Amino acid sequence: MTASRVRAAHHRRAVVRMLLASVFVGASSASTAVGLSGATAQADEPSRLYVFINSGVKPHALQKELEDHMAGVSVTVFGRFRDFQTASIEETPDAVLATGPVLDELGFARSLQGFAGSSADEPYVLVAIGQALTPAAAAGFTIGSVDLLGRTKMRTFVAKLLNVDTSVKLKLVTKTEDLLPLLQFSAAQAVILPERERAAFIARSELDLRSTVLPTRVGLPAASAITIAGTKILTAIKGLDRSTMSQLGVESWR
């Protein structure tokens, strides 16, 4: 090969190396820009809290109240157990807030427990028309309840509340206010609900409603942090005012 051809070959290789280097640098810069953009976008995203609470407050009203008191937190309050279950497992929120039995059923450890006074659980009551039924007597009737755990698990849950071994017949609804029509139209002979909701529930009706406190207590709402961002949500939950906490059925957090 002549000297001129050698110089030409070297020149071509140099040009190729320069082109490859510029492509590499451009790609690296673009990758870095995308990475930084993604990180910034991720940092700007609000942390997510999923909530499922047996409350006299409608889900959308509770959701707004929680978001108003929790800056930087996107709150979703679910009205149905199955929807909460699916979203909590498949979408991985940063934290969840639910009643004790719900967290236990889905396998979420309590990171923050709600208390009423010094108690982490609460009584439920059995409400019927015209008479205060005993739990044993109620077990022979159809009982109405808010669906906390899905139909199969709710049979076990209600039987435990009544402290009976027999299978119970249930009519399940998605919110407390839907329990009253069950009694009015004889779709159920009794309903169960948290004792803290008893006065408001009876006041909405002109029926002669009588109640009995059930022997088994139910775990109050608690929160579980799933991600690192979830620990900040726990701090926000601790900072809720008394009015908002009362909608959740708790007075303090520990």
Return the domain boundaries, the chain: 1-44, 47-115+220-253, 124-216
Confidence band, pLDDT 50/70/90 cuts, at residue 56: confident
Which of 77, 76, 57, 101 lies closest to 249 in space, CA to CA? 57
Please state which CATH number belongs to domain 47-115+220-253: 3.40.190
Looking at residue 44, its pLDDT comes to 65
Is residue 225 helix, strand or coil?
Answer: strand
pLDDT over threshold 60, residue 43 = no
Q: What is the mean pLDDT of the chain?
A: 85
Rounded Cα distance, 26 and 7, in Å: 29
- Mean pLDDT, range 90-106, rounded to an integer: 96
Q: What is the DSSP letter of 221?
A: P
Is residue 80 within 8 Å of residue 213, measured between CB atoms? Answer: no
Q: What is the pTM of this model?
A: 0.80
Confidence band, pLDDT 50/70/90 cuts, at residue 159: very high
- Mean pLDDT, range 105-125, rounded to an integer: 96
Taking only the tens place, the pLDDT of each residue in 191-206 is 999 999 999 999 998 8
CA atoms within 13 A on the CB side of 61: 8
Is residue 28 helix, strand or coil?
Answer: helix
Which of 112, 132, 68 lies closest to 220 in space, CA to CA? 112
Residue type, 82: R
Rounded Cα distance, 202 and 158, in Å: 21
Is residue 142 helix, strand or coil?
Answer: strand
- Mean pLDDT, range 227-236, rounded to an integer: 96
- Mean pLDDT, range 158-170, rounded to an integer: 92
pLDDT over threshold 80, residue 10 = no
Higher per-residue pLDDT: 2 or 146: 146
Rounded Cα distance, 132 and 139, in Å: 13
Looking at residue 45, its pLDDT comes to 83
Is residue 161 within 8 Å of residue 192, measured between CB atoms? Answer: yes
Tell me, yes or no, if the two domains 47-115+220-253 and 124-216 fold the same way.
yes
Looking at residue 22, its pLDDT comes to 44
pLDDT over threshold 80, residue 71 = yes
- Mean pLDDT, range 158-169, rounded to an integer: 92
Higher per-residue pLDDT: 213 or 21: 213
Which of 212, 239, 207 lies closest to 223 in space, CA to CA? 239
**Domain 124-216, architecture per CATH:** 3-Layer(aba) Sandwich (3.40)
Looking at residue 242, its pLDDT comes to 95
Which of 53, 58, 75 lies closest to 218 in space, CA to CA? 53
37-46, 86-95, 213-222: least confidently modelled range: 37-46
Taking only the tens place, the pLDDT of each residue in 12-41 is 444 334 433 343 334 444 444 434 334 333
Angle (nearest 5°) at CA 148 between 122 and 187: 100
